[in-house]
Structure 1
Amino acid sequence: MSVVVPAARPVLELTDVRVTFGSGRSATPVLRGVDASIHAGKTLGIVGESGSGKSTMAKAIVGLVKPNAGTIAFQGRDVTAMSGAERRRMRRDVQMVPQDPYSSLNPRRTIGQTLAEAIDPLRANPKEHAQKISYWLSTIRLDPDVAERYPHEFSGGQRQRIAIARALAVQPKLIIADEITSALDLSVQAEILNLIGRLRKELDLTMAFISHDLDVVHHVSDEILVLFHGEVVERGDVDAVYGNPRHPYTRRLIDSVPGGPGFDIGERRLAEV
């Protein structure tokens, strides 16, 4: 007699999520019935051009935007029904790595202070958490001695690494990476993508990776969700979607990649982390 093992519940599940900005004649639908899910240890790539609803989807997940309809369940709990205090507590479990590496770090805090605050908001003392700070800096391939330095002393790529370390230091259940390579040049993009690839394996990360660049998403994701004017037009296994796109919009995104289908991101990978 075979035993049926129930499928694991997704860490994150969106069901028919709709977001509209404004009301009446000025109402603008931004998300139109979005369904999505992310299981533990997996990365969902969310791709679409500017205005497709990607960032609104990310903000809805962390509770910064309230859907007009639908549900967002994080670890089985409906985010849209949480109180403000519950949502604030949830945000430690759902960490965002922002797009802009230059404005995401407090210029008045050392890197050690920034990481200490992430590790323990109540006792953000770098000396007390020196071992953990060193660990996370080493994990992103920065010398632990940089903990004494300030953000302005780092390049954009280094700042983005630090932003990633800050998110990881909280030990979240879900990371949302929102266009984290778009402000970087190609060689630095390569370093960050290689870093993400390594961390996914070493730390078994659960992630939503948001980008307008389908080729980038292809190389860091397990599954892809394609947004077009707020609607999911295609989703599935990353290689299946990239290798055999069914929707014209997805094909257009692939055709816009330098070299077309099969373009090797190795051209970006000019330096290994």
Structure 2
Amino acid sequence: MTSTATSAAPVLEVRDLEVTFGSGHAAAKVLKGVSATIERGKTLGIVGESGSGKSTLAKAIVGLNPVSAGSIWVNGADVSRMTSGQRRAMRREVQMIPQDPYSSLNPRRTIGQTLAEAIDPVKSNPRAHREKISYWLSTIRLDADVAERYPHEFSGGQRQRIAIARALAVGPKLIIADEITSALDLSVQAEILNLISRLRTELDLTMAFISHDLDVVHHVSDEIMVLFHGEVVEIGDVDSVYGHPKHPYTRKLIDSVPGGPGFDIGERRAAVV
């Protein structure tokens, strides 16, 4: 593939992806021919109830789940054909923001140490990366002096913002946000959604935003993909899918949203602190 073709390729392309757990009579096909594309600077919202295959897809993209069939392409490169060394390098290009930031932050490392390691895993001295650490903390609206503190000293919402900063500090081509607001109360959810919306614009992020909450996905995405029992039942422009759903399952998800289409996310928003 030429460099021109690579630069023009979508950041992420999933082609007829299948993931099966177990074997023989115990085999369970969790993803069934899933296909999706994320263009540079766009956000694809992936929505579905628990068990729909959302997190399985996310883990397959970052190489944590084996692929049974189909392929995953990142920046024009077929992940399934990469060597182990290429996969390790690719993992810096695709960063996942976890649902539970506390368990993903090392309690023995300061926030500065955590961010320094993301910036440069080889030379992860916070002093050497002081300016970059301050920049990423300011980006998530935290003061530079919090770099000396430990994860347990922060609230759940602050820890989630730190997890976002850590993912961004790596300099990835693609961010996967996996249910990042589900463990937070409504006012803190609003802070995180406001932050994501701002960063999408300021940093021109390319993102897969995963949630069971269609209203949340609606407000942070350019396109929506609806998963049901491991299959894509609907995909398209965010306003078209949310305003004019074609599949009964999508309608069910919309009907579960307080107020349905037009529900004002301002009702759950709070000022970002």
- TM normalised by structure 2 equals 0.96
Tell me whether 1:180 sits opposite 2:180 in the alignment.
yes
How many Å separate the matches in 1 of 2:30 and 2:120?
A: 36
Secondary structure of 1:16's aligned partner = strand
Deviations 1:177-231 (A, max 9, x none): 0000000000000000000000000000000000000000000000000000000
Deviations 1:83-107 (A, max 9, x none): 1111111000100000002211000
Moved over 4 A (4+): none
How many Å separate the matches in 2 of 1:272 and 1:264?
A: 17
Deviations 1:105-127 (A, max 9, x none): 00000000000000010010000
Q: State the partner residue of 1:217.
A: 217
Q: How many residues align?
A: 269
Q: Which moved more, 1:76-85 or 1:180-189?
A: 76-85
How many Å separate the matches in 1 of 2:59 and 2:9?
A: 22
Check the 8 A contact 1:46/1:211 in 2, yes or no: yes
How many Å separate the matches in 2 of 1:57 and 1:44?
A: 13
Structure with greater helix share of residues: 2
Matched residue type, 1:199: L
Secondary structure of 1:102's aligned partner = helix
Q: Give the Å deviation of 1:265.
A: 1.1
Q: State the partner residue of 2:203.
A: 203
How many Å separate the matches in 2 of 1:92 and 1:101?
A: 18
Q: Give the Å deviation of 1:272.
A: 3.6
How many Å separate the matches in 2 of 1:102 and 1:114?
A: 12
Q: State the partner residue of 2:60.
A: 60
How many Å separate the matches in 1 of 2:272 and 2:114?
A: 26
Gaps of 5+ in 1: 1-6
Q: Give the Å deviation of 1:270.
A: 2.2
Deviations 1:235-266 (A, max 9, x none): 00000100000000000000000112221111
Q: State the partner residue of 2:228.
A: 228
Matched residue type, 2:106: N
Q: State the partner residue of 1:4.
A: none
Check the 8 A contact 1:41/1:204 in 2, yes or no: yes
How many Å separate the matches in 2 of 1:144 and 1:197?
A: 22
Gaps of 5+ in 2: 1-6
How many Å separate the matches in 2 of 1:171 and 1:41?
A: 14
Tell me whether 1:157 sits opposite 2:157 in the alignment.
yes
Q: State the partner residue of 2:237.
A: 237
Matched residue type, 2:195: L
How many Å separate the matches in 2 of 1:87 and 1:272?
A: 36
Q: State the partner residue of 1:27.
A: 27
Check the 8 A contact 1:66/1:80 in 2, yes or no: no
Deviations 1:3-57 (A, max 9, x none): xxxx932111001000111111111110000000100000000000000000010
Q: State the partner residue of 1:112.
A: 112
Check the 8 A contact 1:17/1:72 in 2, yes or no: yes
- What is the root-mean-square deviation in Å for CA atoms of aligned residues? 1.4
Matched residue type, 2:56: T
How many Å separate the matches in 1 of 2:181 and 2:33?
A: 28
Q: Which moved more, 1:261-270 or 1:221-230?
A: 261-270
Q: Give the Å deviation of 1:68.
A: 0.6
